[in-house]
Amino acid sequence: MNKDFILYTVKNQKLNITTYGYENRNTAPCIIYVHGFKGFKDWGFVPYTGEYLASIGYFVITFNFSHNGVGDSLTEFTQLDKFAENTFSMEIDELSEIIEGYQFGFFDNDAVNKIGLIGHSRGGAISLIASRKTKAVDAIALWASVSNLDRYSERQKEKWKKEGVFEVLNTRTKQVMKLNVTLLEDIEKHKDKKLSLEKALKYFKKPLLIAHGDQDLAVPVSEANQLYKWSHKKLTKMLKIPAAGHTFGAVHPFEGSNPKLEQLLETTELFLRKNLIEE
Protein backbone atom coordinates (compact mmCIF):
# COMPACT_ATOMS: atom_id res chain seq x y z
CA MET A 1 0.00 0.00 0.00
CA ASN A 2 1.26 3.47 -0.92
CA LYS A 3 0.43 6.63 0.99
CA ASP A 4 1.30 10.26 0.29
CA PHE A 5 2.25 12.85 2.90
CA ILE A 6 3.16 16.52 2.94
CA LEU A 7 5.72 17.70 5.48
CA TYR A 8 6.34 21.39 6.13
CA THR A 9 9.86 22.04 7.37
CA VAL A 10 10.85 24.39 10.17
CA LYS A 11 11.44 26.98 7.43
CA ASN A 12 7.90 26.33 6.14
CA GLN A 13 9.10 24.62 2.98
CA LYS A 14 6.79 21.98 1.48
CA LEU A 15 8.10 18.45 0.98
CA ASN A 16 5.98 16.12 -1.17
CA ILE A 17 6.38 12.54 0.04
CA THR A 18 5.27 9.13 -1.21
CA THR A 19 5.67 6.08 1.01
CA TYR A 20 5.63 2.46 -0.16
CA GLY A 21 4.82 -0.49 2.05
CA TYR A 22 2.82 1.72 4.42
CA GLU A 23 1.52 -1.44 6.10
CA ASN A 24 5.13 -2.27 7.08
CA ARG A 25 5.79 1.02 8.89
CA ASN A 26 5.71 -0.46 12.41
CA THR A 27 7.29 -3.84 11.74
CA ALA A 28 10.16 -3.31 9.30
CA PRO A 29 13.22 -1.13 8.72
CA CYS A 30 12.64 2.28 7.15
CA ILE A 31 14.40 2.96 3.83
CA ILE A 32 14.62 6.58 2.66
CA TYR A 33 15.43 7.23 -1.01
CA VAL A 34 17.28 10.51 -1.67
CA HIS A 35 17.21 11.85 -5.22
CA GLY A 36 20.01 13.81 -6.87
CA PHE A 37 20.47 16.91 -9.03
CA LYS A 38 17.56 17.31 -11.48
CA GLY A 39 16.00 14.26 -9.84
CA PHE A 40 12.62 13.77 -8.15
CA LYS A 41 10.70 11.06 -6.33
CA ASP A 42 8.65 10.05 -9.40
CA TRP A 43 11.62 9.87 -11.78
CA GLY A 44 12.20 6.68 -13.74
CA PHE A 45 13.28 3.86 -11.46
CA VAL A 46 12.30 5.49 -8.14
CA PRO A 47 8.67 4.23 -7.90
CA TYR A 48 9.84 0.84 -9.15
CA THR A 49 12.48 0.77 -6.42
CA GLY A 50 9.88 1.72 -3.82
CA GLU A 51 7.53 -1.06 -4.93
CA TYR A 52 10.39 -3.57 -5.10
CA LEU A 53 11.54 -2.93 -1.54
CA ALA A 54 7.98 -2.71 -0.20
CA SER A 55 7.12 -6.10 -1.72
CA ILE A 56 9.99 -7.62 0.27
CA GLY A 57 8.67 -6.05 3.47
CA TYR A 58 10.38 -2.67 3.97
CA PHE A 59 8.77 0.69 4.73
CA VAL A 60 10.05 3.05 2.04
CA ILE A 61 9.99 6.86 2.01
CA THR A 62 10.58 8.82 -1.20
CA PHE A 63 10.36 12.60 -1.33
CA ASN A 64 11.14 15.75 -3.29
CA PHE A 65 13.49 18.34 -1.88
CA SER A 66 11.59 21.63 -1.62
CA HIS A 67 13.82 23.38 -4.15
CA ASN A 68 14.39 20.60 -6.70
CA GLY A 69 12.25 22.50 -9.19
CA VAL A 70 9.35 20.04 -9.27
CA GLY A 71 6.10 21.33 -7.75
CA ASP A 72 2.68 19.77 -7.37
CA SER A 73 2.78 18.49 -10.96
CA LEU A 74 5.24 15.94 -9.46
CA THR A 75 6.88 15.15 -12.82
CA GLU A 76 7.63 18.52 -14.44
CA PHE A 77 10.09 21.29 -13.58
CA THR A 78 7.60 24.09 -12.99
CA GLN A 79 9.41 25.85 -10.13
CA LEU A 80 12.62 27.04 -11.74
CA ASP A 81 12.68 30.06 -9.41
CA LYS A 82 12.96 27.70 -6.44
CA PHE A 83 15.47 25.51 -8.26
CA ALA A 84 17.68 28.57 -8.63
CA GLU A 85 17.61 29.22 -4.88
CA ASN A 86 18.56 25.70 -3.77
CA THR A 87 21.65 24.98 -1.64
CA PHE A 88 23.31 21.82 -0.38
CA SER A 89 22.87 22.95 3.21
CA MET A 90 19.12 23.25 2.63
CA GLU A 91 18.93 19.68 1.31
CA ILE A 92 20.93 18.36 4.26
CA ASP A 93 18.54 20.05 6.68
CA GLU A 94 15.47 18.75 4.83
CA LEU A 95 16.68 15.15 4.77
CA SER A 96 17.43 15.47 8.48
CA GLU A 97 13.84 16.60 9.04
CA ILE A 98 12.49 13.60 7.11
CA ILE A 99 14.56 11.30 9.33
CA GLU A 100 13.38 13.11 12.47
CA GLY A 101 9.81 12.94 11.19
CA TYR A 102 10.04 9.16 11.06
CA GLN A 103 11.62 9.05 14.52
CA PHE A 104 8.77 11.09 16.00
CA GLY A 105 5.89 9.26 14.29
CA PHE A 106 5.04 11.68 11.46
CA PHE A 107 4.23 8.74 9.17
CA ASP A 108 1.56 7.36 11.53
CA ASN A 109 4.19 4.94 12.85
CA ASP A 110 4.00 3.88 16.48
CA ALA A 111 7.38 2.15 16.29
CA VAL A 112 10.81 3.28 15.12
CA ASN A 113 12.97 0.64 13.47
CA LYS A 114 16.39 0.77 11.88
CA ILE A 115 16.93 3.36 9.15
CA GLY A 116 18.71 2.90 5.84
CA LEU A 117 19.35 5.51 3.15
CA ILE A 118 19.68 5.06 -0.61
CA GLY A 119 21.22 8.14 -2.20
CA HIS A 120 21.56 8.52 -5.97
CA SER A 121 24.20 10.82 -7.48
CA ARG A 122 24.24 14.06 -5.47
CA GLY A 123 21.71 12.44 -3.15
CA GLY A 124 24.48 10.09 -2.06
CA ALA A 125 26.58 12.99 -0.82
CA ILE A 126 23.60 14.57 0.93
CA SER A 127 22.85 11.21 2.60
CA LEU A 128 26.36 10.85 3.96
CA ILE A 129 26.50 14.37 5.33
CA ALA A 130 23.00 14.26 6.84
CA SER A 131 23.79 10.94 8.53
CA ARG A 132 26.67 12.60 10.34
CA LYS A 133 24.27 15.27 11.57
CA THR A 134 21.44 13.03 12.81
CA LYS A 135 23.38 9.94 14.03
CA ALA A 136 20.21 7.89 13.45
CA VAL A 137 21.13 6.21 10.16
CA ASP A 138 22.18 2.56 10.39
CA ALA A 139 23.33 1.90 6.80
CA ILE A 140 23.72 3.77 3.51
CA ALA A 141 23.68 2.60 -0.10
CA LEU A 142 25.31 5.03 -2.52
CA TRP A 143 24.16 4.72 -6.12
CA ALA A 144 26.45 6.51 -8.61
CA SER A 145 27.35 9.00 -5.89
CA VAL A 146 29.54 12.04 -6.35
CA SER A 147 32.65 12.27 -4.19
CA ASN A 148 32.87 16.05 -4.23
CA LEU A 149 30.17 18.73 -4.09
CA ASP A 150 32.54 21.45 -5.33
CA ARG A 151 32.24 20.54 -9.03
CA TYR A 152 32.92 23.87 -10.70
CA SER A 153 36.12 25.26 -12.21
CA GLU A 154 37.60 28.57 -11.11
CA ARG A 155 36.67 30.03 -14.48
CA GLN A 156 33.05 28.93 -14.03
CA LYS A 157 32.98 30.36 -10.51
CA GLU A 158 34.34 33.69 -11.67
CA LYS A 159 31.68 33.96 -14.36
CA TRP A 160 29.03 32.80 -11.89
CA LYS A 161 29.91 35.55 -9.44
CA LYS A 162 30.00 38.16 -12.18
CA GLU A 163 26.64 37.22 -13.71
CA GLY A 164 24.92 36.13 -10.50
CA VAL A 165 23.66 32.86 -12.01
CA PHE A 166 25.03 29.61 -13.43
CA GLU A 167 23.03 28.05 -16.27
CA VAL A 168 22.49 24.31 -16.64
CA LEU A 169 20.81 22.70 -19.64
CA ASN A 170 18.43 19.87 -18.84
CA THR A 171 19.08 17.65 -21.85
CA ARG A 172 15.86 15.69 -21.28
CA THR A 173 13.43 18.63 -21.04
CA LYS A 174 15.56 21.17 -22.97
CA GLN A 175 15.02 23.69 -20.16
CA VAL A 176 17.77 26.09 -19.18
CA MET A 177 17.88 25.85 -15.40
CA LYS A 178 19.61 28.59 -13.44
CA LEU A 179 21.47 28.40 -10.13
CA ASN A 180 21.84 31.54 -8.07
CA VAL A 181 25.15 32.54 -6.53
CA THR A 182 23.80 31.42 -3.13
CA LEU A 183 24.73 27.84 -4.06
CA LEU A 184 28.30 28.88 -4.81
CA GLU A 185 28.45 30.80 -1.55
CA ASP A 186 27.29 27.68 0.28
CA ILE A 187 30.04 25.63 -1.39
CA GLU A 188 32.81 28.11 -0.67
CA LYS A 189 31.77 28.60 2.93
CA HIS A 190 31.40 24.92 3.84
CA LYS A 191 33.38 22.83 1.30
CA ASP A 192 36.20 21.98 3.71
CA LYS A 193 34.00 21.28 6.71
CA LYS A 194 30.27 20.55 6.60
CA LEU A 195 30.21 19.72 2.87
CA SER A 196 33.35 17.57 2.88
CA LEU A 197 32.65 13.98 1.84
CA GLU A 198 36.04 12.91 3.16
CA LYS A 199 35.13 14.16 6.63
CA ALA A 200 31.64 12.66 6.43
CA LEU A 201 33.07 9.24 5.62
CA LYS A 202 35.61 9.52 8.39
CA TYR A 203 32.76 9.84 10.88
CA PHE A 204 30.40 7.32 9.24
CA LYS A 205 31.42 4.09 10.94
CA LYS A 206 28.45 2.04 9.81
CA PRO A 207 27.75 -0.30 6.87
CA LEU A 208 28.17 1.34 3.45
CA LEU A 209 27.47 0.10 -0.07
CA ILE A 210 29.12 1.95 -2.96
CA ALA A 211 27.46 0.96 -6.25
CA HIS A 212 28.54 2.48 -9.56
CA GLY A 213 28.31 1.77 -13.27
CA ASP A 214 31.72 1.51 -14.90
CA GLN A 215 30.46 3.47 -17.94
CA ASP A 216 28.98 6.37 -15.97
CA LEU A 217 29.60 9.54 -17.99
CA ALA A 218 27.90 11.91 -15.54
CA VAL A 219 29.83 10.81 -12.45
CA PRO A 220 32.95 8.82 -13.38
CA VAL A 221 33.60 5.55 -11.59
CA SER A 222 36.81 7.14 -10.28
CA GLU A 223 34.57 8.99 -7.80
CA ALA A 224 33.35 5.66 -6.42
CA ASN A 225 37.00 4.64 -6.02
CA GLN A 226 37.66 7.86 -4.11
CA LEU A 227 34.72 7.29 -1.79
CA TYR A 228 35.96 3.76 -1.13
CA LYS A 229 39.43 5.10 -0.38
CA TRP A 230 38.00 7.35 2.34
CA SER A 231 35.62 4.73 3.76
CA HIS A 232 36.11 2.27 6.60
CA LYS A 233 36.99 -0.81 4.55
CA LYS A 234 35.67 -3.44 6.96
CA LEU A 235 32.26 -1.81 6.83
CA THR A 236 32.16 -1.06 3.09
CA LYS A 237 31.06 -3.12 0.10
CA MET A 238 31.89 -2.03 -3.45
CA LEU A 239 29.80 -2.95 -6.49
CA LYS A 240 30.86 -1.98 -10.00
CA ILE A 241 28.31 -2.88 -12.65
CA PRO A 242 29.83 -3.52 -16.09
CA ALA A 243 28.55 -1.44 -19.02
CA ALA A 244 26.17 0.52 -16.74
CA GLY A 245 25.72 4.28 -16.91
CA HIS A 246 24.55 6.87 -14.40
CA THR A 247 20.97 5.55 -14.14
CA PHE A 248 21.83 1.85 -14.56
CA GLY A 249 19.98 1.52 -17.86
CA ALA A 250 16.76 3.14 -16.64
CA VAL A 251 15.13 6.13 -18.33
CA HIS A 252 12.30 8.57 -17.66
CA PRO A 253 9.48 7.94 -18.33
CA PHE A 254 10.20 4.46 -17.00
CA GLU A 255 10.19 1.78 -19.69
CA GLY A 256 10.74 -1.20 -17.43
CA SER A 257 13.64 -2.83 -15.66
CA ASN A 258 16.79 -4.40 -17.08
CA PRO A 259 19.55 -6.75 -15.85
CA LYS A 260 21.81 -3.91 -14.66
CA LEU A 261 19.07 -2.33 -12.55
CA GLU A 262 18.03 -5.72 -11.19
CA GLN A 263 21.62 -6.44 -10.14
CA LEU A 264 21.72 -3.08 -8.38
CA LEU A 265 18.42 -3.68 -6.58
CA GLU A 266 19.24 -7.25 -5.56
CA THR A 267 22.67 -6.30 -4.21
CA THR A 268 21.20 -3.31 -2.38
CA GLU A 269 18.45 -5.40 -0.80
CA LEU A 270 20.93 -8.06 0.36
CA PHE A 271 23.08 -5.31 1.87
CA LEU A 272 20.07 -3.78 3.65
CA ARG A 273 18.81 -7.14 4.89
CA LYS A 274 22.21 -8.10 6.29
CA ASN A 275 22.70 -4.80 8.12
CA LEU A 276 19.17 -3.79 9.11
CA ILE A 277 17.42 -7.11 9.70
CA GLU A 278 19.83 -10.02 10.23
CA GLU A 279 22.40 -8.15 12.29
Length of the chain: 279
Q: Give residue 6's pLDDT.
A: 98
Q: pLDDT tens digits, residue range 218-229?
A: 999 999 999 999
Question: What gap in Å lies between CA 1 and CA 150, rounded to an integer?
Answer: 39
Sequence-ordered list of residues with C-beta below 8 angstroms from that of 180, at least 6 positions apart, any chain: 84, 85, 164, 165
b/e per residue 69-108 (b: at least 16 CB within 10 A):
bbeeeeeebebeebbbbbbbbbbbbbbbbbbebbeeeebe
Q: pLDDT tens digits, residue range 239-277?
A: 999 999 999 999 999 999 999 999 999 999 999 999 999
- Torsion angle of C-alpha atoms 18, 20, 23, 29, degrees rounded to 10: -110
Q: Give residue 133's pLDDT.
A: 83
Q: Which residues of the chain have pLDDT under 50?
A: none
Q: Give residue 98's pLDDT.
A: 98
Angle ∠(18,142,12) on CA atoms, nearest 5: 40
Question: What gap in Å lies between CA 62 and CA 49, rounded to an integer?
Answer: 10
Q: What is the pTM of this model?
A: 0.98
Q: Give residue 279's pLDDT.
A: 67
CATH of segment(s) 3-150+192-277: 3.40.50.1820
